[in-house]
């Protein structure tokens, strides 16, 4: 499996956890999901911007994916709707819908 490939669903997440365990690294499914969501959202933002102009980071409690501009100003955040599960829990329940939501959030944040 290509380590650069972003896990797209829970099967990919489980495969990555097993692969890492086989290489002597202990990672949880949640760790892999956090990294997948951050990397995936970065990829979505980069695609919409036609380049890597913004940096995506998790906020301190892993609820919002924040988008920062060139001079490290906060451009916007993707966060679960009020009363919704975290993006991590949403990914576990339905990864496809989570990617769709993040794609829509990226459009709102960068206006493209």
Q: Encode pLDDT of 46-73 as tens digits.
A: 999 998 899 999 999 999 999 999 899 9
Residue 19 within any structural domain of the chain: no
Inside any domain, residue 54:
yes
pLDDT value, residue 1: 37
Looking at residue 4, its pLDDT comes to: 67
- Residue 112 above 90 pLDDT? no
Q: Is residue 94 one of the residues assigned to a domain?
A: yes
Residue 1 lies in a domain: no
pLDDT value at residue 111: 83
Asked whether the beta carbons of 6 and 40 are under 8 A apart, the reply is: yes
In which domain, by residue range, is 42 found? 37-111
Torsional class of 101: left (φ above 0), alpha (ψ -120 to 50), beta (otherwise): alpha
Q: Which residue has the higher pLDDT, 2 or 38?
A: 38
d(CA 68, CA 37): 16
pTM, to two decimals: 0.92
80 within domain boundaries: yes
Using an 8 Å Cβ cutoff, are 41 and 15 in contact? Answer: no
Residue 18 is encoded by which pair of tokens? 């097993």
CA 90/CA 93 separation, integer angstroms:
5
What total number of domains does the chain contain? 1
17-26, 27-36, 92-101, 103-112: least confidently modelled range: 103-112
């Amino acid at each position: 499996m290509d380590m650069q490939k972003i896990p797209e669903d829970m099967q990919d997440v489980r495969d990555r956890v097993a692969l890492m365990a086989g290489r002597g690294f202990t990672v949880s499914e949640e760790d892999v999901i956090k990294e997948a969501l951050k990397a995936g959202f970065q990829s979505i933002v980069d695609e919409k911007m036609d380049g890597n102009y913004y940096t995506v980071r998790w906020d301190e409690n892993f609820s919002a994916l924040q988008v920062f501009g060139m001079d490290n100003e906060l451009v916007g955040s993707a966060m679960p709707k009020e009363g919704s599960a975290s993006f991590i829990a949403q990914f576990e329940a339905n990864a496809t819908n989570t990617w769709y939501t993040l794609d829509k959030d990226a459009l709102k944040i960068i206006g493209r």
